[in-house]
Amino acid sequence: MDPIPADAPRRHLALVGLMGAGKTSVGVSVAARSGRRHVDLDRAVMQLAGRSIGVLFREGGETAFREVEQEALALQLSAGDPIVLSTGGGVLVREANRLALARSATVVWLRATPETLAARVGDPAGRPLLADGEPLEVLKRLAVERGPTYESAADVVLDTDGLTVAEVGSLVLEAVSTAGEASR
């Protein structure tokens, strides 16, 4: 096991990045290696809403989804035990979410090129933001739109192109340990 420092001033570890960055796979790996519980925020949203993300988008659009996402994030960050949280790609769109993560978690941006992300995403089914366009073009646009927000919110930035889940997990644990989970 690769423990995260016990004296770390922040309780949770949050992985952010665009779809295909590996947040869920890396989160599972890091949680297993660090002894923390893993939470996938998209799954928490579906549990809270009682329906799929696709249905949430169809029923109320992105705004309705973001409302439930914000509530699910707050619930997860209120957990007493430290968790590894794999967020959705747009969680940082809302200022309230950025502030909550800054208060409660070390934020690690798993960054990759749009080409890598598109290859990882594969079939865009089940990804509402990819429904209306070519995945590579949508990911390029999202990288430009969201990149500055990820950069400003991140305590740690890790480039994941060409790396395995295990390699990225090791980098996350090393970076968090080296940084001592220090504040921005």
Q: Using N-to-C axis directions, what is the helix angle for 135-153 and 114-121, rounded to 10°?
A: 120
10: Cα separation from own chain's centroid: 17
Rounded CA separation 14/5 (Å): 15
Element containing residue 48 per DSSP (H, E): helix 41-49
pLDDT for residue 168: 97
pLDDT of 107: 96
Residue for token digits 């988008």?
A: 57
For residue 148, how many other CB atoms are within 10 A of its CB? 9
pLDDT tens for the chain, residues 1 to 184: 555 555 444 579 999 999 889 999 999 999 999 999 999 999 999 999 999 988 998 899 889 999 999 999 999 999 888 999 999 989 999 999 999 999 999 999 999 999 999 888 866 655 656 666 788 888 899 999 999 999 999 999 999 999 999 999 999 999 888 765 444 3
- Rg (C-alpha) for the chain, rounded Å, is 15
CA distance to 24, 116, 123, 157, per residue, from 20 (Å) = 9, 8, 11, 16
What pLDDT does 9 receive? 44
Cβ proximity of 35 and 175 under 8 Å = no
pTM score, two decimals?
0.88
Q: What would the pLDDT profile of 122-156 be if each residue is shown by its tens digit?
A: 666 556 566 667 888 888 999 999 999 999 999 99
